[in-house]
Structure formats: C-alpha cells, structure tokens
Amino acid sequence: MTTITRFAPSPTGRLHVGNIRTALHNWMLARKAGGRFLLRIDDTDAERSREEYVEAIRDDLDWLGLSPDGEERQSERLEKYEAAFEALKAAGRVYPAYETAQELELKRKIQLGRGLPPIYDRGSLKLSEEERAAKEAEGISPHWRFKLDHDEPIRWEDGVRGPQKFDPAQLSDPVIRRADGSWLYMLPSAVDDLDMGVTDVLRGEDHVSNTAVQIQMFTALIAARNAAQQIPRFAHEALLVGKEGKLSKRLGSLGCDAFRERDIEPEAIIALLARLGTSQPVEPISDRGQLVESFDLSTFGRAPAKFDDTELDRLNAAIVHSLPFDAVAGRLPKGMDEAGWHAIRPNLTHVCEAGEWWRLVTGPIAERDFSAEDRGYLSAAAGALEWSDDPWHALTAKLKASTGRKGKPLFLPLRQALTGMDHGPDMGELLPLIGEERARARLEAAARE
C-alpha cells in the first residue's frame, strides 16, 4: 500500500515555524516510503479564509522545496461532507444540540465547581421530539454533535507516543457543524483522509484527543458507507517551544516571510526542523536525501522541541559556506565570479552579505592611519609588488626577506592598506581579485601622509 501523508493548513494566515515543521515531517515520511505528500487547504471557514494566504502557502512550500504531489481544497468538497453527515445522521451517530454558548459555559463552570471534568452532559440528546420542535419554533437553530460510542475504549498505537487509550465517556461529544450550517474541523478532516487514501497522519500532540474522537468517526463512516477503507496510522509529535522553554507567541508569527527577510537559506531551516525534537544530532546537512534516509519516528522524543534562532544562524552560516557558485550566482553583486565567491564565502553568515565583502575588491575601502614606520614599509611593498599567479605569497616572501618582518607586523599593515580592514578573506585569494593596478594604488595611497 502506497504511503500517503498530508499537510492541511487553514488559509487564515501565513505558515509559521510549527506549520513548516509539520509539513516537512509529513513530506519526509512520504518520501522515505516512496509515497505521496498531499496539500489539503482547509478553507471551510469562508469568513476567515483568504485566497492570498492560499497562494502564500503554496509559495512557501515551493521555496522550502516541499512541493506537494497533489492538492485538494475543502471548499470544493462540501457535497462530500453533506453526504457523510446524512449517512451518520441516518446511522444515529449525529444529533442536534440547542444550548447557547452562554449555557454551555455555565454548565462547564458548575462541573468544575463540583470537581468534575467539563464534559458535555448530552442534555440535548435527552430532549423529546416535542421539546426539539419547541426549540426550533422559538427560532433556535441547532448545532450538531457526533455521538461517541461509550461501550469500548478507544485505542491506537501512536508512532511517537506508543500505545494510547481513551475512555470515550470522558470525552465530550464533539460539535461537527455550527448552527449556520458551516463545518468545524473534525468531520471534514476524517472524510478527506478516507477519500484521499491518507495512510499516515503525523501532527502535533495537541491533536491527541481529536484523534481519539476521529477514530470513532472513521469507524462510523466506513460502516455507514459499507466501504473497504482503512483508518490511517497516527503519530503525534511534541510541540515547538522557544529557547526559554515556554510556548512562545513569537513562534506563531515566525514564518517563511521572516526567514526570507533575514536571508536564511531554506536548507538551513530544513536541516534544523528535520531533527529538532529527535535524538539525532542537528547538523548543517544540505543533502535532502541524507535527511530523508535518517528520518525515523522512533527517534522523536516526548519533551517539547526547543527552537533557537542562534542555532538556525549557526546552521545557515555552515550551509552558506558549502554553497556552490551556481546555486547563488543570481544573488551575488555584479562582477563577482566563481573565484570571488570562493574567496568571500568563508566570511559570510548570509549570502546577502556578499556585497559588503565584495567592496573590498571594487572599493572604495576605509582609509587607515599608519605610523611613519608602517608607511615606509607600505611604500616598499608598492615597489616590491610584482604580478604572478600568486602575487600575495610572492610579495610577503620578498618583504620578509628585505625587512625582517614576520607574523602580524608583516601581514597586518598590508591587509589594512589593501582592504581597509583588520580581518577578512584569505589574502592569497583576494589579492588577485583586487588586481595589480588597484593594489599598487592602494599601497601607494596608504604610504602617503
């Protein structure tokens, strides 16, 4: 059976780092098994869904290299949900409920005050046909709940959490449809997973109780359809937290747009999120195949996974240092060729910094104040400069022999005069890029008072 996973965002905002991690792990799970990764746009909430966010989700996945193998939109499947709802209704698995939000809140407060769990008491299920008719005659439109079967515990083998067991009597019958006829998450998601042949649902641990409820929905739907369909396997990974160890509002707004603004490489994001929260080391691996091959749900821990910007910057710098010229050529300043990239690359943490370093070649450079002794030394350097395949080492060897200087007194004044800086790219690579004419002019200018 082909492994099929799905990523199901709601287009009510931009993807954030937690969404990205979920998408990545579903993509990796499918790729490792040679399966399919689907994108499902959960846009049944017409009031909050925006087409601009649909496009942003697609663009972000493409930028990350997580393009799906297929796409579905819930707004185009409403008749499927209606049919499923009617089938469950005929089977006695959904029922109308008439409590207002205020009435439900009051019930919860009373239960909590008595030390009881705030579980829905199935008050509406106890209404007679006459009482229901009276409610509707008063203009009260019902919302609809799925009736949980209390006869057997709900069990499944979770891919991360291991054996799971829920007592359905300790769960509220979930609302699946609002009074205005619109759908909540639970039923459409279950219908889609069955219809799309989803074999594996990998999502955050905040969905564990949803899974318990949906397993009964899957069972009821399959029975109502008399279909040969399979309930997906489930795995629930620990949620992301900030480096301080708490759930962070910032993580809810940190997404691909923020990463692009910081010039973070997609491969750095992938390398970090692929193994964050697992027992495997987080390393600057840009080879997707290597990451996919090592992907294993058994390595996922139960503790919250800590997202740290500092670690992302470290990985980004390491990946930038390994990027070939062809991968970045379109993002480099005019005139920077492969030799220039090779010289500048070790000094970068982000590709966008290349322009600042390239100015060491093109100029202008910062003027430095030199002592009289160093000015004489730089004057001698200008006279000694001879162009060759390796002008830097030829120049420093000649100056060492003629002046007796070595180490920092030999190299630092030359670097300062040629680049205006105390540190930077390897001068053996940089000097040929500066060129003979420009190099001699800089040495001569530094030698003048």
| 249 among annotated binding-site residues | yes
- Find the radius of gyration of the CA atoms of the chain: 32
- Identify the bridge partners of residue 94 per DSSP, sorted by sequence position: 146
Contacts 24+ apart (CB under 8 A), 334-340: 335/362, 339/429, 339/432, 339/433, 340/433
Contacts 24+ apart (CB under 8 A), 283-288: 283/315, 284/314, 284/315, 284/318, 284/319, 284/322, 286/319, 286/322, 286/323, 288/65
∠ CA 361-442-401, rounded to 5°: 105
Give the C-alpha separation, 238 to 401, whole Å: 64
- Identify the bridge partners of residue 307 per DSSP, sorted by sequence position: 242
Give the C-alpha separation, 267 to 64, whole Å: 8
User: Which amino acid is located at 27 in the chain?
Assistant: W
Per-residue burial over 384-403, b = 16 or more CB atoms within 10 Å of its CB, e = otherwise: bbeeeeebbebbbeebeeee
DSSP 48: T
Which contiguous run of DSSP H or E holds residue 97?
strand 94-97
The alpha helices in 204-265, defined as continuous H runs, are 208-225, 256-261
Do 153 and 212 form a contact (C-beta atoms < 8 A)?
no
Strand pairing category for 70-73 and 94-97: unpaired
Q: Where are the beta strands (DSSP E) in 308-378?
A: none
Closest CA to 155 of 71, 74, 87, 211: 211
Do 263 and 230 form a contact (C-beta atoms < 8 A)?
no
∠ CA 257-262-263, rounded to 5°: 95
∠ CA 307-312-316, rounded to 5°: 165
Give the C-alpha separation, 211 to 83, whole Å: 22
User: Which residues have C-beta within 8 Å of that of residue 267, sequence separation ≥ 6?
Assistant: 286, 319
Feature table: binding site = 249
Q: Which residues are annotated as a binding site for ATP?
A: 249
